[in-house]
């Protein structure tokens, strides 16, 4: 019951991440439902000031947590976290007492002969520092999320728009500091890996040296004819090599789910980067529009548009969160 004189809590949702002394933020009209969420405000806050919202989600930096994969212990659901804590004891370089854990089944809750768990292990000190730094912006931070699930949300939404929800699709998020790969099917996370970045490949794409790849192509692997010789491409890109290795691992592990499409998530020159990766990898690759899953007429970002988009890409994915688990 809500007393008539009590304050009505806003239905809006706030997403936050810390960037040095700044914070990136995304404010929506609430969790996604039957209608797409609307972006109300987003961008960079030069100084911490309150942004009213009913629910606030803070996003950890990838350096502050690990995602480990273990065999699912044979214990009741409510004991999974405790059992996982013992399983990862020798896999982390800190005392497990200093970690906050969350778990989720690889590929979701569908029963399988051999089940595995993703274990998210985050440093307590990092969670405390994040929530304290964000307290000047919101007093209602109740959830701490991670990049892998945020990227999964963006990928799943795009796959549904492209009628690929039942197929396996991958997304690689590239920025100056991070290069993160996820593979999903049926809205569930099956595979994730952090990759070595490749400034050389991005420079080639941004310099316009990648050939256009806008034509619609059949799904799956297909030979892409090369163009004129490019001396800068003679040496294989470490990013492309690692993407190929990851796809090989995926195909061996999940032969019943061939990879249908690879999406590139980046703030600048997404189509050019996707075209270059497609040419070098031979996998159908397209740029993902991170704003497309929200209602149209999104406001302009606060702060520099390119920097704001780069900072807010993972937050846009976290804004699509529908699960109720809390780290």
- The 10s digit of each residue's pLDDT in 304-315 is 999 999 999 999
Q: Write the CB contacts of 96 (distance below 8 Å, at least 6 apart in sequence).
A: 85, 88, 89, 121
The answer to whether residues 194 and 119 belong to one domain is no
pLDDT score of 54: 87
pLDDT score of 77: 87
Between CA 59 and CA 25 the distance in angstroms is 10
Query: Is residue 107 in some structural domain?
Result: yes
pLDDT score of 325: 53
pTM: 0.87
The answer to whether residues 179 and 115 belong to one domain is no
pLDDT less than 50: residues of the chain = 1-8, 208-234, 326-327
Domain residues for the domain of 99 are 62-128
The answer to whether residues 309 and 267 belong to one domain is yes
Report yes or no: 247 and 283 within 8 Å, Cβ to Cβ: yes
Query: Is residue 85 in some structural domain?
Result: yes
Query: Is residue 20 in some structural domain?
Result: no
pLDDT score of 111: 67
Report yes or no: 285 and 266 within 8 Å, Cβ to Cβ: no
């Amino acid at each position: 019951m809500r007393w008539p004189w009590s304050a009505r809590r806003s239905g809006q949702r706030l997403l936050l991440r810390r960037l040095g002394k700044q914070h990136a933020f995304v404010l929506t009209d609430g969790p996604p439902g039957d209608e797409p969420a609307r972006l109300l405000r987003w961008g960079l806050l030069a100084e911490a000031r309150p942004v009213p919202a009913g629910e606030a989600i803070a996003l950890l930096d990838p350096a502050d947590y690990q995602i480990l994969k273990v065999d699912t212990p044979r214990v009741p659901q409510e004991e999974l976290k405790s059992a996982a804590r013992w399983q990862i004891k020798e896999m982390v370089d800190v005392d497990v007492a200093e970690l906050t854990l969350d778990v989720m089944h690889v590929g979701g809750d569908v029963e399988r002969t051999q089940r595995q768990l993703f274990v998210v292990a985050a440093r307590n000190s990092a969670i405390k520092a994040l929530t304290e730094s964000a307290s000047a912006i919101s007093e209602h931070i109740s959830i701490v999320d991670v990049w892998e699930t945020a990227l999964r949300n963006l990928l799943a939404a795009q796959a549904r728009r492209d009628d690929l929800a039942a197929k396996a699709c991958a997304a690689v998020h590239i920025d100056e500091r991070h290069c993160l790969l996820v593979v999903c099917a049926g809205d569930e996370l099956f595979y994730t890996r952090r990759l070595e970045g490749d400034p050389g490949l991005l420079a080639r794409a941004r310099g316009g040296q990648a050939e256009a790849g806008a034509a619609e192509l059949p799904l799956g692997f297909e030979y892409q004819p090369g163009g004129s010789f490019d001396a800068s491409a003679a040496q294989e890109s470490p990013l492309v090599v690692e993407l190929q290795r990851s796809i090989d691992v995926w195909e061996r592990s999940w032969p019943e789910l061939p990879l249908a499409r690879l999406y590139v998530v980046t703030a600048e020159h997404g189509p050019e980067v996707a075209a270059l990766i497609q040419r070098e990898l031979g996998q159908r690759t397209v740029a993902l529009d991170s704003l497309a899953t929200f209602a149209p007429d999104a406001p302009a970002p606060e702060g520099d548009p390119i920097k704001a988009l780069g900072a807010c890409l993972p937050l846009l994915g976290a804004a699509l969160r529908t699960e109720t688990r809390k780290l």
